[in-house]
Amino acid sequence: MPEFRIDAADEGARLDVVLAAHDDLSRAAAQRLIAAGAVLLDGRQVAKHHVVRPGELVTYEMPAPVVSTMQAESVPYRIVYEDDALLVVDKPAGVVVHPAPGHEHGTLVHGLLDHGIAGGHETRPGVVHRLDKDTSGLLIIARSALAHRRLVAAMARRDIQRRYVALVDGALPHDKGVIDVPIGRHVRDRKRISVHSVNPRPAVTHFSIRERLPGHTYLDVRLETGRTHQIRVHFAALGYPISGDVVYGAKERPARLARQFLHAARLAFPHPLNGEEMVFDAPLPADLATYLEYLLGVAPP
């Protein structure tokens, strides 16, 4: 069983807080371990709110890794980087990240099962964060339960930087800015995310203009938080929806654009095992690059 001693810096803290910090757990996960009797303090069970003292010995047992029962399938994707702890994958548009109602097969997870991904839920092993089906770009996938816990904790601390390129309809009036507007499930349509929600959560999106194009604005976007559909909802709420987004923008796509113009172009994060700074870039996919050329008059009409 893993163990550690309480040091002077943690004197007066709660057991659940100290355990969560020590093993990169969420506080809720630490509380579940304590409630299950899997955590001992000097050989005895104590409550999650127990105040620790220097020198006390904490022993704990992590639950067995979740074993997926899914079968590997052939799914398109590109591996940008891999080591024993993680994969960085460039996901094409049209691929769902993990199984969900209506998408039980053919997901990115199915395609990656042969690569030994692990951690998290049985139906989404290794998944640290997600992209919408029709958003392309970079994702981190964990290959061990420890790497998964640490990457999820890094995401919660906002240590993982995610940058996108996006094309929006209309001419944004400012060259750069911050959208700080809480979002959540729509008050009437539970399938949509909205700024009009009975239970909104903080959401912050940073943007700067790359280029102004006829009828459009080409943007660099950085997520400070990572809510579902955050970029799409934020720009739609401003009145400048993502081009090709038929859920939050125009109901018909331009003839030359088959999906929303949104691409996860850069990831930067500390390696979950050694802390080394990792930075990865994914080029703009051909379909989006061709549409940009069309707007600029470079592609044939």
Among residues 24, 132, 169, 245, which one is catalytic?
Answer: 132
Structural contact between residues 107 and 130, judged by C-beta atoms closer than 8 angstroms: no
Angstrom distance (rounded) from CA 249 to CA 258: 14
Our answer to whether residue 220 is catalytic in this structure is no
For 66-105, give the DSSP string: PPP---------EEEEE-SSEEEEEEPTT--SS-BTTB-S
Pair of tokens at residue 293:
């050329």
Beta bridge partners of 88: 81, 140
Angstrom distance (rounded) from CA 256 to CA 244: 10
Task: Determine the 3-state secondary structure of 188 from DSSP.
Answer: coil
What are the backbone dihedrals phi and psi of residue 80, each rounded to the nearest 5 degrees, phi first? -90, -35
Query: What residues are annotated to the active site?
Result: 132
